[in-house]
Amino acid sequence: MRSEEAKSLLKKNWGIDGQISSLPSERDINFKISGKANYVLKIYPKVDSTLKIRLNLQNKVLKFLEEKKINTSPFVVPTKSKKLLINPSKGSIARLLTFHDGAAWGNKSEHSGEEIEQLGRLIATVDKNLNQLKISKEERKSLNAPFIWNMLQAESLLSWSSKISDSNSRKIVEATLSNFRKNILPRLKKMPMQVIHNDGNDYNIIENDEKLVLIDFGDMIYAPKIVGAAVAAAYVGLKSDDPVKQISQFIRGYHSVYPLSLEEISILIELVKVRLASSVANAALQRGVNPDNDYLSISQNDVPKCLEAIDKFDSNFALFRLRNAIGLEANPNSKPVRDYLLSIKPANLLEKSFSDLKQVYINWSFDNPEIPRSTQAIEDLMAKTGAEVTIGYYCENRNVYQGEAFNPAAASARTFHLGVDVGMPAGTPIYAPLDGVIEIFNNNSTHLDYGPVVILRHKTDKGVPFWTLYGHLSIDSMPDWKIGKEIKAGGLIGRMGKEEENVGWPPHTHFQLLTDLCGMGIDIYGVAPKDEIALWRGISLNPNLVLGIESGTDAHAKISPASIRSDRRVVISQNLSLNFKNPINIVSGSGAYLFDEKGKSYLDLVNNVAHVGHSHPRVVAAAASQMSLLNTNTRYLHQSIVEYGKAITSSMPDPLSVIFFVNSGSEANDLAIRLARAHTKSKGVVALRHGYHGHTQAVVEISPYKFLGKGGQGAPAHVAVAELPDLFRGKYTGKGATEKYLSNLKKSISSLKQPISAFFAESIVSTAGQIVLPPGYLSAAYKMVRAAGGLCVSDEVQIGMGRVGEKFWGFELHDVVPDIVTLGKPLGNGHPLAAVVTTPEVADSFNNGMEYFNTFGGNPVSAAIGQAVLEVVYDQRLQLNAKNMGKYLRDGVSSLAKDHSIIADVRGSGLFIGVEMMLDKKTPATNEVAELMEFALNKGVLLSCDGPDNNVLKIKPPLIITKSDVDHLLNVFSDWLGKK
């Protein structure tokens, strides 16, 4: 079809004009239409019934993904008469798709690990959603039709692989496809199957700002899920010297969204090779048929090169990278090796055991400005300290390596030391700690390499192999080395070399424990790339498993925030969220401030756990002092638990006099449920809408914030929800609203299918958006609950201990005395300490013969910390500071509100403040609040938000904040408002 025909087709059916140009394509005829919006007109000249089904299915998929708001493109544009497909002539079909602007992934020569992971997440998200798509038998059949890009049919490519002109390429393609047919396909066929996109190639990914979009659903097939991952993975390393590294980064992203099994991972590299081999074979065939089609050759410069690089790559090392990518320890042999070494006592490396030698650690890290690098400097250090041996750390980030491979500025710079260095005078003999056989040795004589180095091979009692490496030995050690020579534990290996012979290092032995040589032989990394530390920790284990230096050898050098974030995606469950678009890496805290790894400070207005300020010296001292003296449990007499317990109960009104110590707010509320059940002999609970009481099963069941929120299953049978008495934007507002909320509570109590045991409420409902209960509500509610036979529980986990300023406990704002009070966050200033306070009567009902024992609750260290925190609150008059600073802050925000209607309500008490932001009476300013939080972050102020619409700023800083801290916040707030 010519452009003019396409143009008139477009006008007639879609009513669209625009500039028209033809686009390259492998199979169809494509035109780009540029105008107010851009489109692609696709013409399929020869359509059979299968293609027709496929095209309809594509439309269905695009619609399905569009509705789910997945980053895919295009969208199908209906004709004026609402058709998605039309027949321009008999046997041909046309459809119009939106065109996504942006550059193709393949146009950029380099991508960061984070970007590659992002791509993995995109492909996984698409395929995970496609797995939920219902398809008919007929559609499924169309997805299984003969198709050169269906990997399940890849063996058929062997019939024309002879057309590949480059003989090396041809050999690799044929070997890959034969291996696939014989060994991989039978395994692949047993793996979970679904509809997959099947074409995440580097020109089907469009980069737009920070967003990635997947386009082109023309190659969808029904195949094992791992094929979808492998197809996209095949293209991510095309331009790299180390494609397997990038494939692993991609797989990490994929797995973090759509988990892959070990079985799937273990054939992935072969599948990647099959895809690349298919690409090489297809290009050879197509080039024969159609030598002028540029599109066919787009990636053909890189593909054979990449296939060759992957083919050559050590298969164990590739698997280690993939295992690490999905969160497993890199080498599966590491665990048996570690287990074995922990069950034996190796012989001494030196003449004496380390415990008989006075040691000094040497610090060669970037943190040390005065590295003792020369032989003389080390000798001086030993003389000064009286040390007989120096120890250099494992996993230290070292500032001593030079040369191209060690360029410390690069993300993948090799600076993390994998051995332990043992330093003594030149000539010191080194002995084998374990029976072994010399596997390989050499004189690595390049400046700053190892000099004479030898690797011994060992095995565990179960036959699992592992290796030890000894670097920087003397030249005269070498004549005794022979490959295959056995050395018994305690046998001499060699002697430490002099600086001249060990190529520039003070005399020492680099001792390394390896679970694999990763195909690198004697050049196995002794220093790991700093962006692959988790990987190398799982291959080159801490040598101290053999050495047995009691004071330890692991430096745990800091890894980059990018690596922490990436490792976190697979090691920590994904439903633990992170704050901010670019999460920050906090390494220290002091007072009301937190500091990231670069030393940038952040005023912390979020953390009501650091009640008396981060790292408060009195709290730290109390913890350290008690920890160094004793920590046990409540089964022994100990003064501090009684003294501290009494101090807490004394801060509450009578008759609240019995305390239980637990470890978290959730545990406190969980115990409160048990106490209430024991006392009332019933189970019903009423909780306030949007309220949260913790994360254990029992307390999620009484937390409407969770059971009515995302992923929630609705209220359990024993729980009723009472409307939140929010006079600003709740169900009832205005005159008489409080009474309406009370009658709603009454209804909730009577709606319970079993009698009420407890009513749970905070006095300022935090997760609901800092909602201050209206005057009179709580006292009337307590009366009502008690009349129905229930107990009243005040959840003080967020707001207790002076935070609300006017009073010491939140419930005291309402002039009520609860039956049970639960305490948490502030008590331990970050140490896991929480408590339940109740009356002797309720405690007695609970004491029914079943022992209450809590391993950690009420231990002497926790009690000492709790006591210190409480005393700081008293001694520094922090309740008063909360009252004054809270008022100053609220007044400041209220005065900003005069000129900025987006600030709709300023509420709270003391330093527990909510600022509700609205665009108008009905529209919560959700996006604006998120924007403000990011803005404040950049200005060094941490804020959080909550409420059902996430439009309430929550301000709940450590109680020690000063006027200038508040001014800082007000300035930032005002700057942001000024920019609006």
CB nearer ligand PMP, residue 766 or residue 845: 766
- We find the least distance from the C-beta atom of residue 168 to ligand PMP, in angstroms, to be 60
Residues 6 or more apart in contact with residue 861 via CB below 8 angstroms: 623, 626, 627, 631, 831
- H-type helices in 367-492, by residue range? 375-385
- We find the least distance from the C-beta atom of residue 695 to ligand PMP, in angstroms, to be 6
CB nearer ligand PMP, residue 481 or residue 692: 692
Separation of alpha carbons 51 and 28, rounded Å = 12
Tokens, residue 961? 């904040």
CB nearer ligand PMP, residue 665 or residue 769: 665
CB nearer ligand PMP, residue 118 or residue 664: 664
Nearest CA-CA partner of 539 in 472, 471, 614, 469: 469
CB nearer ligand PMP, residue 495 or residue 689: 689
- We find the least distance from the C-beta atom of residue 493 to ligand PMP, in angstroms, to be 54
- We find the least distance from the C-beta atom of residue 100 to ligand PMP, in angstroms, to be 41
Length of the chain: 980
Separation of alpha carbons 640 and 629, rounded Å = 13
Separation of alpha carbons 838 and 850, rounded Å = 18
Separation of alpha carbons 569 and 870, rounded Å = 37
Separation of alpha carbons 158 and 180, rounded Å = 11
Q: What angle do CA 290, 291, 295 make, to 5 degrees?
A: 80
CB nearer ligand PMP, residue 341 or residue 799: 799
CB nearer ligand PMP, residue 316 or residue 766: 766
Whose tokens are 């401030």? That residue is: 593
Crossing angle for the helix pair 561-571 and 243-257, to the nearest 10 degrees: 50
CB nearer ligand PMP, residue 695 or residue 900: 695
- H-type helices in 752-877, by residue range? 777-787, 840-846, 860-875
CB nearer ligand PMP, residue 118 or residue 663: 663
- We find the least distance from the C-beta atom of residue 667 to ligand PMP, in angstroms, to be 6
- We find the least distance from the C-beta atom of residue 853 to ligand PMP, in angstroms, to be 19
Q: Are the CB atoms for 312 and 269 separated by under 8 Å?
A: no
DSSP 732: S
CB nearer ligand PMP, residue 387 or residue 870: 870
CB nearer ligand PMP, residue 329 or residue 762: 762
Separation of alpha carbons 10 and 79, rounded Å = 9
- We find the least distance from the C-beta atom of residue 444 to ligand PMP, in angstroms, to be 54
- Distance from chain centroid for Cα 946: 22
Provide the CB-side half-sphere exposure for 628 (13 A, CA).
5
- Distance from chain centroid for Cα 355: 40
DSSP 559: P
- We find the least distance from the C-beta atom of residue 583 to ligand PMP, in angstroms, to be 19
- We find the least distance from the C-beta atom of residue 450 to ligand PMP, in angstroms, to be 51
CB nearer ligand PMP, residue 6 or residue 778: 778
Q: Are the CB atoms for 909 and 804 separated by under 8 Å?
A: yes
Q: Are the CB atoms for 414 and 401 separated by under 8 Å?
A: yes
- We find the least distance from the C-beta atom of residue 796 to ligand PMP, in angstroms, to be 8
Separation of alpha carbons 553 and 394, rounded Å = 6
- We find the least distance from the C-beta atom of residue 762 to ligand PMP, in angstroms, to be 5
Nearest CA-CA partner of 554 in 374, 395, 346, 721: 395
Separation of alpha carbons 608 and 603, rounded Å = 13
Nearest CA-CA partner of 686 in 576, 796, 790: 790
CA separation (Å) from 826 to 149, 614, 653? 60, 11, 19
CB nearer ligand PMP, residue 439 or residue 795: 795
- We find the least distance from the C-beta atom of residue 692 to ligand PMP, in angstroms, to be 5
CB nearer ligand PMP, residue 795 or residue 819: 795
Q: Are the CB atoms for 435 and 501 separated by under 8 Å?
A: no
- We find the least distance from the C-beta atom of residue 597 to ligand PMP, in angstroms, to be 26
Q: Kindly give the pairing relationship between strand 429-431 and strand 586-590.
A: unpaired
Nearest CA-CA partner of 372 in 421, 445, 429: 421
Tokens, residue 784? 């009502």
352, with CB counted inside 10 A (0-12, 13-18, 19+), is exposed
Q: Are the CB atoms for 946 and 770 separated by under 8 Å?
A: yes
- We find the least distance from the C-beta atom of residue 612 to ligand PMP, in angstroms, to be 17
CB nearer ligand PMP, residue 790 or residue 830: 830
CB nearer ligand PMP, residue 522 or residue 835: 835
Q: Are the CB atoms for 498 and 426 separated by under 8 Å?
A: yes
Q: Kindly give the pairing relationship between strand 93-98 and strand 39-44.
A: antiparallel
Cis status, amide bond into 704, omega within 30 of 0:
no
Q: Which residue is nearest to ligand PMP (CB)?
A: 665
User: Three-state SS for 782?
Assistant: helix
> Which residues make up the interface to ligand PMP (CB under 6 A)?
664-666, 669, 692-695, 762, 766, 795, 797-798, 824
- We find the least distance from the C-beta atom of residue 660 to ligand PMP, in angstroms, to be 15
- We find the least distance from the C-beta atom of residue 802 to ligand PMP, in angstroms, to be 17
CA separation (Å) from 977 to 1, 907, 927? 56, 19, 14
CB nearer ligand PMP, residue 515 or residue 770: 770
Please state the φ and ψ torsions of residue 856, each to the nearest 5 degrees: -95, -30
Separation of alpha carbons 275 and 271, rounded Å = 6
- We find the least distance from the C-beta atom of residue 96 to ligand PMP, in angstroms, to be 51
- We find the least distance from the C-beta atom of residue 704 to ligand PMP, in angstroms, to be 12
CB nearer ligand PMP, residue 304 or residue 824: 824
Q: Are the CB atoms for 705 and 767 separated by under 8 Å?
A: yes
